[in-house]
């Protein structure tokens, strides 16, 4: 499947609460890496959609812009929004933007990673400074634990 159709199928399946259809976009060993909820292997993607995305939010809109791929890697810009169902921000709308970075194999997603500006949307929900700080620390730890960050930590 062409990357632009693949990324649209995956995102719109999630919006439509169809985790099984979203999982069809992944290789058997494929993994969805979500900026908030963590990593989910293909068999757990339906659970991610049902037990996380649609548990915590409703009225999703996920628009994809400028998808591009060389066959083994793909990128797309997105704007994503929802109405929160979290107790302390129920009904508030949040809008996020980000970039999807995808590894591809045989026309399917081997991995889906997000680089998102999460803090704009979370501030729209009214997250406290302390809560935003905890999220920033977690994201910082994940970034610094990656191999490609090692030389940046050393400054050489």
Question: Which tens digit of pLDDT belongs to each residue from 76-95?
Answer: 999 999 999 999 898 999 99
Longest dimension (CA), the chain: 47
Looking at the 3D structure of the chain, how many domains does it have? 2
Q: What pLDDT was estimated at residue 156?
A: 67
Verify that 142 and 94 share a domain, yes or no. no
Shared-domain flag, residues 108 and 134: no
Is residue 112 located within the same domain as residue 43? Answer: yes
Asked if 12 and 22 touch (Cβ cutoff 8 Å), the reply is no
Token pair in block for residue 82: 């929802």
Q: How far is CA 137 from the centre of its chain?
A: 18
Q: Are residues 103 and 151 in the same domain?
A: no
**Do residues 138 and 93 both lie within one domain?**
no
- Assign residue 24 the CATH number of its domain: 3.10.450.50
pTM: 0.90
- Predicted pLDDT at 142: 84
Identify the domain containing residue 30 by its residue range. Answer: 3-125
Residue 34: exposed, middle, or buried by beta-carbon count in 10 A (0-12, 13-18, 19+)?
middle
Mark whether 120 and 43 lie in a shared domain: yes
76/121 same-domain check: yes
* Same domain for 97 and 156: no
Decide if 83 contacts 59 (C-beta within 8 A): yes
Lowest mean pLDDT among 21-30, 60-69, 111-120: 111-120
DSSP tag of 146: S
Query: In 3D, which of 15, 121, 13, 109 has the Cα closest to residue 60?
Result: 15
Give the Cα separation of 115 and 139 in Å (integer).
Answer: 10
Taking the C-alpha atoms of residue 123 and residue 93, their distance in angstroms, rounded to an integer, is 11
Judge if 97 and 153 occupy the same domain: no
């Amino acid at each position: 499947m062409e990357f632009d159709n693949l990324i649209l199928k995956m995102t719109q399946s999630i919006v439509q609460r169809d985790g099984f259809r979203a999982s069809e976009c992944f290789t058997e060993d494929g993994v969805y890496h979500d900026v908030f909820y963590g990593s989910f292997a293909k068999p757990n993607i339906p659970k991610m959609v049902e037990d996380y995305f649609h548990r915590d939010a409703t009225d999703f809109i996920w628009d994809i812009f400028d998808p591009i791929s060389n066959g083994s890697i793909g990128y797309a810009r997105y704007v994503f929004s929802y109405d929160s169902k979290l107790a302390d921000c129920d009904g508030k709308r949040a809008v996020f933007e980000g970039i999807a970075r995808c590894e591809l194999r045989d026309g399917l997603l081997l991995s889906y990673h997000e680089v998102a500006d999460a803090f704009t949307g979370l501030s729209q929900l009214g997250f406290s400074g302390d809560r935003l700080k905890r999220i920033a620390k977690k994201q910082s730890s994940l970034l610094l634990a990656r191999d490609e960050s090692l030389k940046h930590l050393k400054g050489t």
